[in-house]
């Protein structure tokens, strides 16, 4: 059983990732911290509480509201035509009786890392602001967690917010640079692989047909929320009745890294030159004593196996 903490900007694909994690028997969600991005951090936390209720996961999951702006105080949220006014495709899920934990998100991450004594896996599906703030408070954090798995970045494919940058990395590039260079055992799941992985109407039809009674509401929610996301993919990519699989892929890889192939690279993020903001810079020169600085960049994925597994938890 992997013990994970999810840090999310709970949009449509984040929400599918979160439902997957809550449903998977191989994962235990120790908590969710939220960040601005697809919507505000408080809205994201409210979405998380509703998703936890919808999942019927059978255990309590603390939710903590995190950063509402970048490390440098900028607030930029995604336009509503991507994830809807509320981040989850304008779907109104039943309210939760629970409230977010009144605690600083960085402190929550540090507390969980201590508590789990090296076992915690942190999966980020939004900006890296909360994790960077945790690092500022405790630079020894990388030695206290098992791994960080991050959805973000693009290496050999174009970005989705600029020719060189992906949204989560661009959205707080200085935070991303701090996290990349902090010495975490880190896996980066970027556009190179998430744009090779698709959810189509077929997966949704099959999910509806084969889901358990207990998962029927969750599958209905996914279908409804994806309407807007499919439309966004049609307008921006010319894709018909399908979407990329960004955030769920990070969760799937956190659970089973054998879904991907990796290249070890020393990497940082440009955050000063405006035209290159969010671009990942790599250094492939061999320097044995710096091996611990390398991160594992996912360069290939078994997309069919990943998508099959994604929907299998609803059966
Ligand atoms: C990332 O940006 C967000 O809109 C998605 O939720 C995903 O985390 C993809 O670039
Ligand atoms: Ca996200």
Does residue 287 have a pLDDT over 90? Answer: no
pLDDT of residue 160: 96
List, for residues 272-283, the tens digit of each pLDDT value.
999 999 999 998
Q: Is 44 in the pocket of ligand 1 (CB under 6 A)?
A: no
List, for residues 33-91, the tens digit of each pLDDT value.
999 999 999 999 999 999 999 999 999 999 999 999 999 999 988 888 899 999 999 99
Does residue 306 have a pLDDT over 90? Answer: yes
Q: Which residues hold their Cβ within 5 A of ligand 2, which is an ion?
A: 9, 14, 125-126, 247
Residues annotated catalytic, as ranges: 9, 246
Crossing angle of helices 216-237/201-210, nearest 10°? 180
Mean pLDDT of the chain: 96
* Residue owning the nearest CA to atom 4 of ligand 1: 38
Q: Is 38 in the pocket of ligand 1 (CB under 6 A)?
A: yes
Cβ(169)–Cβ(176) below 8 Å: yes
Q: Tell me the average pLDDT across 225-242.
A: 96
pLDDT of residue 56: 97
- What is the chain's percent helix, strand, coil content, to nearest 5? 45, 20, 35
Atom of ligand 1 nearest to the CA of 83: 4
* Element containing residue 47 per DSSP (H, E): helix 41-55
Hey, what's the torsion of the CAs at 292, 294, 295, 301, to 10 degrees? -120
List, for residues 8-49, the tens digit of each pLDDT value.
999 999 999 999 999 999 999 999 999 999 999 999 999 999
User: How far is ligand 2, taken at its centre, from the CA of residue 13, in Å?
Assistant: 6
Does residue 292 have a pLDDT over 80? Answer: no
Does residue 310 have a pLDDT over 90? Answer: yes
List, for residues 175-227, the tens digit of each pLDDT value.
999 999 999 999 999 999 999 999 999 999 999 999 999 999 999 999 999 99
Scan for tokens 């934990």, then name that residue.
Answer: 101
pLDDT of residue 196: 98
List, for residues 137-157, the tens digit of each pLDDT value.
999 999 999 999 999 999 999
pLDDT of residue 293: 81
Cβ(149)–Cβ(124) below 8 Å: yes
């Amino acid at each position: 059983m992997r013990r994970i903490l999810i840090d999310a900007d709970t949009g449509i694909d984040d929400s599918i990732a979160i439902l997957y994690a809550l449903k998977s028997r191989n994962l235990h969600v120790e908590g969710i911290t939220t960040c601005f991005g697809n919507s505000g951090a408080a809205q994201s936390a409210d979405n998380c509480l509703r998703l936890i209720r919808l999942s019927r996961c059978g255990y309590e999951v603390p939710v903590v509201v995190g950063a509402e702006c970048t490390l440098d105080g900028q607030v930029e949220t995604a336009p509503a035509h991507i994830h809807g006014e509320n981040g989850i495709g304008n779907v109104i899920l039943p309210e939760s009786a629970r409230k977010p934990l009144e605690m600083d998100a960085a402190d929550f991450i540090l507390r969980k890392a201590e508590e789990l004594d090296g076992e915690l896996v942190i999966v980020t599906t939004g900006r890296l602001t909360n994790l960077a703030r945790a690092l500022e408070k405790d630079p020894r954090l990388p030695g206290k967690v098992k791994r960080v798995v991050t959805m973000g970045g693009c290496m050999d494919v174009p970005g989705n917010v600029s020719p060189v940058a992906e949204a989560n990395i661009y959205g707080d590039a200085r935070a991303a640079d701090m996290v990349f260079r902090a010495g975490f055992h880190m896996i980066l799941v970027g556009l190179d692989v998430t744009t090779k992985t698709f959810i189509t109407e077929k997966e949704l039809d099959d999910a509806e047909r084969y889901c358990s009674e207990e998962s029927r509401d969750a599958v209905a929610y996914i279908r409804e929320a994806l309407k807007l996301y499919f439309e966004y993919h049609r307008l921006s990519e010319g894709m018909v009745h399908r979407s990329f699989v960004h955030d769920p892929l990070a969760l799937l890889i956190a659970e089973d890294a054998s879904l991907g192939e990796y290249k070890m690279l020393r990497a940082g993020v440009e955050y000063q030159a405006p035209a290159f903001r969010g671009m990942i810079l790599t250094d492939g020169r061999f320097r044995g004593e710096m091996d611990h600085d390398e991160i594992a960049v996912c360069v290939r994925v078994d997309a069919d196996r990943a998508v099959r597994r994604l929907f299998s938890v609803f059966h």
